[in-house]
Structure 1
Amino acid sequence: MNKKEPQVKYIQINNKSTELRLKNDGYVRPEKTATELLTPEEIELRLRNYEQVDINEIEKLSNPTRIQYFEIATNDDGEDIYRYRQGGILIINKYPDYLVLEGKNSKTFCVQIKKHVFYKEKDYDKLKKEYEDIIIKKNRIIEEQKYIIEQFQKKTKIKQ
């Protein structure tokens, strides 16, 4: 029986040809990957500049959007468990079926849309506004604390 070699498809993105198939690159998966060893705090830190994408908004994602996601799997007790995945840069959106992401070393992979929770990198203007708001709030707190210190210093001078 002669096994037919799958046809390799290429797409052009940013003047770069990208191969759209998984390669047998000799990768041997360790028992626990670096991603699986991340603590919840480390994952939260990695997602700080990302926002969850509503399922109805996935269709609107375009390349090159940075994506991270959680895979929803089921454990032996039938409960949903969420596995964090670092993701990559969105290069093809085949909503409602799957996304094609480009990871490290320009390797591409598909992620099914079902059973995943996606996060996209916030755009610059949104991030800038958030950080400006944080700075304004912190400046208010500083001014309030300065006022409290001044009042305290006035009271302590009067008593001396």
Structure 2
Amino acid sequence: MKEQNWKIRPITPHDDMRMAYIIRTVMPEFGAGGDGFAINDPEVDWMSRAYNAPRCAYFVVELEGQVLGGGGVAPLEGASNPRICELRKMYFLPALRGQGAGMALIETCLAKARELGFELCYLETLTGMDSAIALYQKAGFRSIDKPMGDTGHGGCDRYFVKSL
């Protein structure tokens, strides 16, 4: 693992265009384009505003002063319990991968979720995002058979939860 020279911080409006670029660059890399994927969520263009809502937080990861990734938490849409959150829109450009920033970002997001009163964290992804799936499992997420809530991301086919 490389020496840590990245930093995690809350998103600002200045980061919105960069995060939109990152999400729209990374998702097609894994075949996640078109309907049913987060790439088409309207909030992709204004992440700082979307995650400024109650019980939401989004963080970016900078490497040498440049934002190369991000991820956040928000209440799970359509959840049966208001204490369930979703780990959302966690994407890294290749230059940031493999440096420990993914685990650090997950830990940051989960700590914030606990602080916001959540008891369970849900996430969904897709087959083929093998490194991300391995990271989620290493962070203690366990696989479940079907989706929870109503995320609108019908293109995802892998679902995970973690007790907080």
TM-score band (shorter)? under 0.3
Q: What is the TM-score when the length of structure 1 is the normalising length?
A: 0.24
Q: What is the TM-score when the length of structure 2 is the normalising length?
A: 0.23
Q: Bigger radius of gyration, 1 or 2?
A: 1
